[in-house]
A = this chain, B = another copy of it.
Amino acid sequence: STVSLAVIPGDGIGPEVTAEAVKVLQAVTAGGPVRFDLTEYRLGAEHWLATGETLPEETLEALKGHDAILFGAVGAAPGDKSMPSGLIERELLLKLRFSFDHFVNLRPSRLYPGVASPLANPGTIDFIVVREGTEGPYTGNGGVLRAGTPQEIATEVSLNTAHGVERVVRDAFRRANDRPRKKLTLVHKHNVLVNAGQLWKRTVEAVAAEFPEVTHDYLHVDAATIFMVTDPARFDVIVTDNLFGDIITDLAAAVTGGIGLAASGNLNMDGTFPSMFEPVHGSAPDIAGQQKADPSAAILSAALMLRHLGLEKEAARVEQAVEADVAARTGEPRTTAAIGNAITAAVS
């Protein structure tokens, strides 16, 4: 069979790391029953600067026709005054997540053997964050009254629905149920954000009844950041809202050795729309085009895609190859392509 894959390399280091992910993908599936048919889409800050387009309706329509999307990174060089701040993130990246109802933003965190953590005693870190991807403070709700005056009022509205919370909580319980430790932690701030917090809490209690083997606990987001540096081994599956998930997954990436290894999947678990796979890192314009970026996060994101598409064996092979490569690193710098080639060779 054929998987129709859209590739959006994006800006900065995006094209470099995506190229390596594609190499690995093609190598690991070569000769197998599933063939990847690639279509590249030029989108991102550079494309906007050249054309004024962020994500035209026709392109969104075309992307809808694919089975999955591999995404690099987007973002102009900082200080590029011609690019309004956050525009490409909102009009391209978030627009894709929202248009394609990517309600599960899956972000695994593992401290690989051989990787140095900034923590003195990291312990065994191996958890996943199930971040809600279509609600919360990310909905673009809110507004400004009397902008630029001493009477200015600016609001941000976090929208949370039973529909949105329940589906992501159930997904997180399912994943917890499939893991050996079977433990779920809800992260929120329900003592202050009472309305949203109670909805999340009640939903976790209700869905827990369907998963008698999964134990669950609760942490306020502030306390969760403390445990992330004092005892990250305590986490197995974390479920949380869009903004708290954004914050704690960057922190989780940091304690597991940096965003060079952090993969993510923006999943539409209904299968109504294509899911999208992207490294957690950004476009890093300062090192773009220099073959300095680590493509591991992009490659691991491709592995998440393989698993999502049911290609578990191939996913595991890619992950093992990355793990072996990482373990063998000596600190001697290698180019982006050198790392990609080594991993490609290992899965071939």
Partner of A157, one of B155, B198, B247, B248: B155
* Pairwise interchain contact B190-A86, C-beta atoms closer than 8 A: yes
Question: With an 8 A cutoff between CB atoms, is A82 at the interface?
Answer: no
Contact partners of A193 in chain B: CB under 8 A:
137, 142, 156
**Distance between Cα atoms of A259 and B225 in the complex (Å):** 12
**Distance between Cα atoms of A89 and B154 in the complex (Å):** 26
Partner of A222, one of B121, B159, B246: B246
**Distance between Cα atoms of A144 and B200 in the complex (Å):** 12
Question: With an 8 A cutoff between CB atoms, is A226 at the interface?
Answer: yes
Contact partners of A197 in chain B: CB under 8 A:
86
* Pairwise interchain contact B89-A192, C-beta atoms closer than 8 A: yes
| Contact residues on A (Cβ < 8 Å of other chain), bracket | 35 or more
**Distance between Cα atoms of A89 and B197 in the complex (Å):** 14
- Given the known interface contacts A89-B192, A190-B85, the answer about A142 and B118 at a Cβ–Cβ threshold of 8 Å is no
Contact partners of A149 in chain B: CB under 8 A:
162
Question: With an 8 A cutoff between CB atoms, is A143 at the interface?
Answer: yes
**Residues in A239-297 with C-beta less than 8 Å from chain B:** 243, 246-251, 253-255, 258-259
* Pairwise interchain contact A118-B229, C-beta atoms closer than 8 A: yes
Contact partners of A191 in chain B: CB under 8 A:
85-86, 89-90
Contact partners of A148 in chain B: CB under 8 A:
202
* Pairwise interchain contact A226-B243, C-beta atoms closer than 8 A: no
Question: With an 8 A cutoff between CB atoms, is A189 at the interface?
Answer: yes
Contact partners of A243 in chain B: CB under 8 A:
189, 192
Question: With an 8 A cutoff between CB atoms, is A161 at the interface?
Answer: yes
Contact partners of A253 in chain B: CB under 8 A:
226
Question: With an 8 A cutoff between CB atoms, is A223 at the interface?
Answer: yes
* Pairwise interchain contact B259-A226, C-beta atoms closer than 8 A: yes
Partner of A156, one of B118, B154, B158: B158
**Distance between Cα atoms of A193 and B166 in the complex (Å):** 24
Question: With an 8 A cutoff between CB atoms, is A29 at the interface?
Answer: no
**Distance between Cα atoms of A197 and B190 in the complex (Å):** 23
Question: With an 8 A cutoff between CB atoms, is A346 at the interface?
Answer: no
Question: With an 8 A cutoff between CB atoms, is A94 at the interface?
Answer: yes
Question: Smallest CB–CB gap between A282 and chain B, Å?
Answer: 9
* Pairwise interchain contact A199-B254, C-beta atoms closer than 8 A: no
* Pairwise interchain contact A155-B158, C-beta atoms closer than 8 A: yes
Question: Smallest CB–CB gap between A259 and chain B, Å?
Answer: 7
Partner of A250, one of B154, B156, B225: B225
- Please encode chain A, from 164 to 199, with 1 for each CB lying within 8 Å of some chain B CB and 0 for all others: 001000000000000000000000011111111111
* Pairwise interchain contact B142-A153, C-beta atoms closer than 8 A: no
Question: With an 8 A cutoff between CB atoms, is A61 at the interface?
Answer: no
* Pairwise interchain contact B225-A251, C-beta atoms closer than 8 A: yes
Task: Show 9 residue pairs from A and B whose CB-CB distance is below 8 angstroms, ordered by the A residue.
Answer: A86-B190, A90-B192, A118-B229, A148-B202, A149-B162, A153-B159, A153-B161, A154-B198, A192-B246
